[in-house]
Amino acid sequence: MTLPTTIILPKPKGTFDDNPQTYLSDLVFELQDMYQSMSQNINGNFRNSFEIDSEKWTPLLKGTTSAGSFTYTNQFGWVLRTGLMTEVWFDVSWTAIGGATGNLYLELPYLVTRSSGKPFIGVLQSSTISYGAGTMATCNAIPNTYRLEFWSSGSGVTTANIAISATGNVIGYIRYIGADDE
């Protein structure tokens, strides 16, 4: 963007010599009007460039081998997306897995960006799913998918996906970069 090298001020009606008080009053009014118009334009463009999207969202659990059909007793989720940065909170409880097999994952509301690694690690809390002694549970947004997988890891223990349990509860949060072509 090129800025002007000279500033052109509005010219009020009349001249300073005719009536200095009216001339200055009109000039102040014109400058205030110009300032208000510019600030509205700048603020509008600034606000529009961020595209903040916040909403409730219904999280769905699935199995990696067979998706199944979970029976939920609690199914709450919230998503906040600012540009490509995506934050997801979830609180899900289930009492049946309806044919789901394999490892447990949650379907995310936005596609995770492509990445050669798995840099998007989130926080997970659960008192009902088992993930082995000496380990901790985390969640991981898998690049180029809509999947948030649940993992266990610890000192001297192999990191592994958490298998589906017949009943359970998971509460968590993750922040990841969403895909830009969605």
Report whether pLDDT(7) > 90.
no
Helix (H, G, I), strand (E, B) or coil at 22: helix
Report whether pLDDT(177) > 80.
yes
Check residue 47 and give its pLDDT: 47
Give the C-alpha separation, 165 to 103, whole Å. 9
**25-68 confidence digits (pLDDT tens):** 776 767 677 767 666 655 555 445 555 666 889 999 999 999 99
**Mean pLDDT of all residues belonging to the chain:** 81
Helix (H, G, I), strand (E, B) or coil at 39: helix
Per-residue pLDDT band for 117 (boundaries 50, 70, 90) equals confident
pTM value > 0.85: no
Find, among 129, 148, 61, 67, the residue nearest to 101 by Cα: 67
Kindly give, in sequence order, each residue whose CB lies less than 8 Å from that of residue 26, ignoring residues fewer than 6 positions away: 12, 13, 14
Residue with the bigger pLDDT between 25 and 111: it is: 111
Check residue 63 and give its pLDDT: 95
Of the candidate ranges 131-135, 150-154, 177-181, the one whose mean pLDDT is the lowest:
131-135
Domain extents in the chain = 12-50, 53-177
Per-residue pLDDT band for 124 (boundaries 50, 70, 90) equals confident
Classify burial at 50, counting beta carbons within 10 Å of its beta carbon; exposed 0-12, middle 13-18, buried 19 or more.
exposed
Give the C-alpha separation, 103 to 151, whole Å. 9
